Amino acid sequence: MESFSCLSHILVMDFSRKPLLQPLWDYFRLNYTDTLRSPLFPVVLTVSSYLIFCIPYLVFNLMGRRWPFIHKYKIQQDRNPTAEMILHCLGVTMYNHLFFIFPAAVAQWCWRPPCPLPEESPTIFDIIFGVAGSLLLFDFQYFIWHMVHHRNRWLYKTFHAIHHEYMAPFSLATQCLGGWELITVGFWTTLNPIIFRCHILTTWVFMVFHVYVSVEDHCGYDFPWSTSHLVPFGIYGGPAKHDVHHQKPMSNYAPHFTHWDKIFGTHADFSSVKGILENDTPNKTCCASKHEDSLAL
């Protein structure tokens, strides 16, 4: 009850004439205007966030069984990324950002020039509503895209197979994507806050949060503090759900939540995900080609 009272007090303060985040917003708005309005700022924000979120999981992979208190939460405990896999994913990520994301950011700046930063900050409620709404809409958008690209042989082979080179996901595999997929994901990530008419600060929070949950979904660890365990009623899938998708590619298409897969009959149980595959199967396998061969022409 005490924690609920504290939350209520914060929200009441936030709905007052001066939003709770106003002093923080004023500081950044007045001191870093040119930086915040730069078309490269969202790119730098998301790339730096991505690498920061990936590093702890890479350390866990490196330490492996030497850290049993961490390793016990690894979903596929006998599969760790090799140096070759890590370098491959880093290379794909850097290539995509250099040849796709950076030009797209410049094009967006030309199409939608930076506007003056709003003087008033968003409320806490505005941020929660904007982030939740944008994430739920993205979940539907990517569910449809993902399902279509798995069920069409040409689309899968041309645009999505690169992401399924690894049966056991790890953090840097999050953005091991083809250019078309990355542009599509980036477009929705940019468009959805506009649809919800989000404050620019809410947009940045959504971008960073979306990077975080995407890395978490691919990290290969199912910790007690994972988002899927914090959101009640099993409505959020998390790492275990997406790990099953990499093992059973014709299931669990939605990136984050579970309701669309349940509605469309593509849900695969992930409550006891460990040990679905034989332990002697290497991480980098012919999973992508096997799935491709199983698709109808």
- Predicted confidence (pLDDT) per residue in 76-98, tens digit: 999 999 999 999 999 999 999 89
What is the residue extent of each domain of the chain?
A: 39-66+79-294
- Predicted confidence (pLDDT) per residue in 212-256, tens digit: 999 999 999 999 999 999 999 999 999 999 999 999 999 999 999
102 or 91: which leads in pLDDT: 91
- pLDDT for 116 equals 87
> Rg of the chain over CA atoms, in angstroms?
20
- Report pTM: 0.87
- Predicted confidence (pLDDT) per residue in 253-264, tens digit: 999 999 999 999
State the average pLDDT over residues 162-183: 94
Collapse the DSSP code of 277 into the 3-class scheme (helix H, G, I; strand E, B; otherwise coil) and give the result: coil
Q: Which of 253, 218, 279, 185 is nearest to 89 (CA)?
A: 218
